[in-house]
Chain A
Amino acid sequence: MKQLAIGLYLLVTGFLLGFALCQAVYVAPNDAMQGEIFRIIYYHVPSASVAFVFFFLNLVGSVWYLVPREKPPVKFWRAILFCLPVEICIGVLMVIGAFLVAGAAKRVMLNSLTGVGLIWLVLYAGYRLVSWGPARQKEAADALAVASAEVGVVFCTVVLTTGPIWGRRAWGIWWTWDARLTTTLVLWLIYMSYLLLRRFAAGPQMQTLAAVLGIFGALDVPIVYMSNRWWRTQHPAPVFGGAQGSGMDPSMVGALLWNMLAWFSWGVLILALRYHVERQHQKIAAAKVERALAV
């Protein structure tokens, strides 16, 4: 059953990536001013969105790791009660988003379905996390934190490479020390240092130090997001939620949303694989310690 679900998810993700690529290359029109180079946005913006979401997940994992836990595992109904406010919030946000962003009934249905899927995902993940014992919860939170930071850095690297390629054609330069670009580079450096700390530091305090760094690193995410709203920047205006005159032509929004969905789907896939690898690594490390103590 589990293998079937994974296979189905792989199929859907592959289809979505192929379909989104077709939308970006063949369906969406060229920009009147920029021409074809504008199509880089269909990979650049979704990558940035996925990176932000994963850095937020790193924050959740880091906070979860640092929260002291003394209580025994809770019962199922308590886990459900714990998850309920989160589910309701996500459900309401998704429904509002579906009505605000999507014009066609098809897209509304798609967004609602994604919302329902997300609600169940949160319900299940929340139940699993809350019903585990304190030690297991800590391990899971730490694995989630490191997995989301690493995958977030991968997506952030995509942003920092596709951006300059666009900039070279649009501005004539690869890089400029503009607020949006600089804050994004700082964000990437913070999470790279997080990963280097995890790779090279040793001792029992390493996870705690990394969790603290993860929390401070997450503070840069809203600064990156708001940078081209707060300051006058060379970077283009925001696609969503910008001032009057910003945004995209409706004929281009569909391609962007499909690419967002496809890259989110891909991101979740590699996040799940990275999380699994980290959990396995924890088990191997624990077994090593047990063997050393037994000798």
Chain B
Amino acid sequence: MKKLAIGLIFAIPIALFGAVAYLILFSPSASPAALDHSYRQAAYAITWAIQLGYLAWLGMKWWLQKHGDHARKVNQ
């Protein structure tokens, strides 16, 4: 269960980065409005990817500190 949760936490930012790459590199260039829409979505997705990716990394660091060997010894 924990592994699944950790996997999900990291999967969301990675999926968002993938979405950004798709939106910018493979977006259909049918009309300027459609391109604007894709680029706007890409900008929002990359913002969330960076923020959630950092939060996931921070959460991981915090969890390791809380449950790591050093923390156990300090608390003792």
Beta-carbon contacts under 8 Å, B32-56 to A: 32-33, 35-37, 39-40, 42-44, 46-47, 50-51, 54-55
Q: How many A-B residue pairs have CB under 8 A?
A: 79
Residue of A nearest to B54 (CB): A154
Residue of B nearest to A163 (CB): B43
- Distance, CA A44 to CA B35, complexed state (A): 19
The yes or no answer to A107 lying at the interface (CB within 8 A) is: no
The yes or no answer to B24 lying at the interface (CB within 8 A) is: yes
- Distance, CA A276 to CA B51, complexed state (A): 18
Contact between chains at A154 and B50 (CB < 8 Å): yes
The yes or no answer to A287 lying at the interface (CB within 8 A) is: yes
The yes or no answer to A47 lying at the interface (CB within 8 A) is: yes
Contact between chains at B58 and A277 (CB < 8 Å): yes
Contact between chains at A47 and B47 (CB < 8 Å): yes
Q: Chain B contacts of A40 at CB under 8 A? A: 39-40, 43-44
Provide the main secondary structure of the chain B interface.
helix
Contact between chains at A280 and B71 (CB < 8 Å): yes
Q: How many residues of B contact A (CB 8 A)?
A: 27
Q: Chain B contacts of A36 at CB under 8 A? A: 33, 36-37, 40
Residue of B nearest to A35 (CB): B36
The yes or no answer to B22 lying at the interface (CB within 8 A) is: no
Beta-carbon contacts under 8 Å, A170-192 to B: none
Contact between chains at B58 and A161 (CB < 8 Å): no
Residue of A nearest to B42 (CB): A165
- Distance, CA A26 to CA B47, complexed state (A): 18
Q: Chain B contacts of A166 at CB under 8 A? A: 39, 43
Contact between chains at A277 and B65 (CB < 8 Å): yes
- Distance, CA A36 to CA B37, complexed state (A): 6
Distance in Å: Cβ of B43 to nearest Cβ of chain A: 4
Sample of 17 more A-B contacts, CB < 8 Å, known A36-B33, A37-B36, A44-B43: A35-B33, A35-B36, A40-B43, A154-B51, A154-B54, A158-B47, A161-B50, A162-B43, A165-B46, A168-B39, A273-B59, A276-B62, A280-B65, A283-B74, A284-B65, A287-B70, A287-B73
Q: Which residues of A contact B (CB under 8 A)?
A: 21, 34-37, 39-40, 43-44, 47, 154, 157-158, 161-162, 165-166, 168-169, 266, 270, 273-274, 276-277, 280-281, 283-284, 287-288, 291
Q: Which residues of B contact A (CB under 8 A)?
A: 24, 32-33, 35-37, 39-40, 42-44, 46-47, 50-51, 54-55, 58-59, 61-62, 65-66, 70-71, 73-74
Question: Ordered nearest first, which 7 A-B pairs have the shortest CB separation?
Answer: A36-B36, A37-B36, A287-B74, A40-B43, A162-B43, A165-B43, A284-B70
